[in-house]
Amino acid sequence: MKRFLKLYRIEQKLALRSGDMLIFGVAMPVGIMILINMIAGSKQATEGFTYLQSSFASLIAVGICAAAFMGIPLTIAEYRDKKILKHFFATPCSPLWILGSDVLCAGVTALLSALSVAFVSIVFLGYEMRGNALAFMGSWLLTLVSMFSIGLLMASLCRTIKSVNAVTTLVYFPMLFLSGATIPYELFPSGLQKLADVLPLTQGIKLMKAVSMGAALENVWEIVVLLLGITAICTGISVKTFRWE
Amino acid sequence: MSTCIEVKDLTKSFNGRTVADKISFRVEKGEVFGLLGHNGAGKSTIIDLLLGLKKPDYGSGTIFGLDPSANRKAVFKRVGVQLQSSNYQNNIRVDELCREMSALHEKCEDYHKLIKFFSLEKLEKSKVNKLSGGERQRLSVALALINNPEIVFLDELTTGLDAAARREVWGHLKDLKKKGTTIFLTTHYMEEAESLCDRIFLIKDGRKVTEGTVKSIIESSPYENLEEAYLWYMGEEVAQ
């Protein structure tokens, strides 16, 4: 455990040093939130809820989106492409250590993002969660784990940095803009909403949003089962198809 | 002496091209064994197959009597590897890379001693991607030794280095040999093989050409130095 933490600390330092995740995962959602507050202020988005209350959960999902669909696949694919994973292979450590430390780094980025959004919204913008905070943390964790499993799958299936860059672009941007993470889902025309519903992150955001607003969600268990299923299938395939080179 | 590496009929093909064709050899404990051949002859593939990084189509390779692909942990506790590629993470510093590689092994040398041995102590806080080719190669060798291995694999360790840097690395390897470390190296520099190796194994297009001591290989050819003998074995014209 001590050796794993040593490995993790260095990988985390490198992740912070590169700065990408701090920009896309932390600064971006906080910036969007401030912008929403400047534009909408205390205006009602839906009955009884301000724009901030309505978009709080979505903005927290931006950090998950960046860590899962950029952080994890880009790091692992780069390590594979540069043969850094091959260096790791020629040691007695378990391959799970390498993957585990990078997943943990991504998790810390997502957590840092969530805490930043929560801190700024509560301390400076007067946000109050109507729903149960513990249940919200549970829904955040479930969304995080399921999205990370998709990121791991991307890392396993894409063999080169070129292919992972292409797949990241194809996955990250639609998830960011169509899932409701940055643009409210409710503003989409019904055709676009149907398309957005296909995206796994949309389901995670719907769950987190309903929990944070204390609203009833008819198909809550369907979403939970779907996210658990995604986690099991994607993790299974990514472990099966993972290659050092 | 006892055998620590044994390779039997190792065979591998990629896209219909045979890159290792029934390769067999043994390496004894404490010796410096050189695998020689042109670029693309199959040297790195043989190392990959032997270390379990690639699966052979046929044949086997064992280290300390163990199959590395099935006993990765046990083998790599006692083996150090310097791969041909010396790319590392973006922005990682020398000391961080040493600490990271130490974390991957159970028992390690003090990396400060190693980087001093390889004259890198002043570069401890430098970013690895800012090091010169020679400094990076010395760091790669240092990292291969971080677990104080009984066998170290060095794949093309001096490629891209100037003559002075090559000789500096050779000096370090001779010190290692004196300590009793078994060294398995690949090279296409005959001067390197002549200076370091107890025995050499020549391959061409994945096939064995000959093996023996540097002296026996020269004596079996019509030439008086390894460079010319090597070209003769490879079926190439030797300039007079």
**Predicted confidence (pLDDT) per residue in A140-161, tens digit:** 999 999 999 999 999 999 888 8
Backbone angles phi, psi at B231, to 5 degrees: -60, -40
pLDDT tens by residue, B140-188: 888 999 999 999 999 988 876 778 878 888 888 898 899 899 999 998 8
Contacts of B147 in chain A (CB under 8 A): 91
Q: What CA–CA distances, in Å, run from A227 to A186, A213, A223, A232, A241?
A: 21, 20, 6, 9, 21
CA distance to partner chain B, nearest, from residue A7 (Å)? 5
Nearest to A6 among B81, B90, B99 (CB): B99
Model pLDDT, residue B128: 93
User: Would strands B58-63 and B3-14 be described as parallel, antiparallel, or unpaired?
Assistant: antiparallel
Contacts of A17 in chain B (CB under 8 A): 91
Higher pLDDT, A98 or A123: A123
Model pLDDT, residue B240: 62
Could you count the other beta carbons within 10 Å of the beta carbon of residue A43? Answer: 9
Model pLDDT, residue B150: 93
Q: How confident is the model at residue B239 (pLDDT cuts 50, 70, 90)?
A: low
Q: Per DSSP, what are the bridge partners of residue A56?
A: none
- Taking alpha carbons only, the member of B55, B1, B60, B54 closest to residue B32 is B1
Q: Which domain holds residue A62?
A: 2-241
Contacts of B64 in chain A (CB under 8 A): none
Tell me which residue has tokens 């066998």.
Answer: B151
Between A140-144, B3-7, B84-88, the lowest mean confidence (pLDDT) is in B84-88
Return the top range by mean pLDDT from A106-110, A190-194, B1-5. A106-110
- Mean pLDDT on A124-132: 89
- The residue of chain A with its CA nearest to that of B82 is A87
Question: What percentage of chain B exceeds 90 in pLDDT?
Answer: 55
Pick the CATH number of B3-89+150-233 from 3.10.129.10, 3.30.750.24, 3.90.1150.10, 3.40.50.300: 3.40.50.300
Contact A56, A102 (CB under 8 A): no
Q: Does B130 touch chain A (CB under 8 A)?
A: no
- Mean pLDDT on A70-85: 90
Residues 35-54 (B) with a CB less than 8 A from some CB of A: 51, 53
Model pLDDT, residue A27: 92
pLDDT tens by residue, B99-135: 999 998 888 878 898 888 888 899 999 999 999 888 8
- Mean pLDDT on B201-222: 93
In the predicted structure, residue A126 carries a pLDDT above the cut 90: no
Nearest to B81 among A18, A90, A245 (CB): A90
Nearest to A86 among B83, B102, B147 (CB): B83
Question: Is A10–B103 a contact, with Cβ atoms under 8 angstroms apart?
Answer: yes
Contacts of A89 in chain B (CB under 8 A): 53, 72
The span from the CA of A51 to the CA of B66, in Å, is 64
Q: Does A3 touch chain B (CB under 8 A)?
A: yes
The span from the CA of A123 to the CA of A119, in Å, is 6
Mean pLDDT, chain B, whole residue set: 89
pTM over 0.90: no
Question: What percentage of chain A exceeds 90 in pLDDT?
Answer: 51
The span from the CA of B211 to the CA of B7, in Å, is 14
- The residue of chain B with its CA nearest to that of A91 is B76
- Mean pLDDT on A46-72: 89
Q: Does B113 touch chain A (CB under 8 A)?
A: no
Higher pLDDT, A119 or A245: A119
Contact B111, B141 (CB under 8 A): no
- Mean pLDDT on A23-32: 91
Question: Is A10–B96 a contact, with Cβ atoms under 8 angstroms apart?
Answer: yes
Tell me which residue has tokens 């009929």.
Answer: B9
Q: How confident is the model at residue B200 (pLDDT cuts 50, 70, 90)?
A: very high
Contact B98, B125 (CB under 8 A): no
CA distance to partner chain A, nearest, from residue B234 (Å)? 31
Contacts of B87 in chain A (CB under 8 A): 82-84
Q: How many domains does chain A have?
A: 1
Model pLDDT, residue B211: 94
- Taking alpha carbons only, the member of B57, B78, B155, B204 closest to residue A83 is B155
Q: What CA–CA distances, in Å, run from A21 to A48, A100, A166, B201, B237?
A: 34, 18, 18, 49, 57
Model pLDDT, residue A243: 82
pLDDT tens by residue, A175-223: 889 988 888 888 888 899 899 899 999 999 999 999 999 887 778 899 9
Contacts of A16 in chain B (CB under 8 A): none
- The domain spans of chain B are 3-89+150-233
Question: Is B85–A83 a contact, with Cβ atoms under 8 angstroms apart?
Answer: yes
User: Would strands B79-82 and B151-155 be described as parallel, antiparallel, or unpaired?
Assistant: parallel
In the predicted structure, residue A136 carries a pLDDT above the cut 70: yes
Nearest to A91 among B53, B85, B105 (CB): B105
Q: Does B227 touch chain A (CB under 8 A)?
A: no
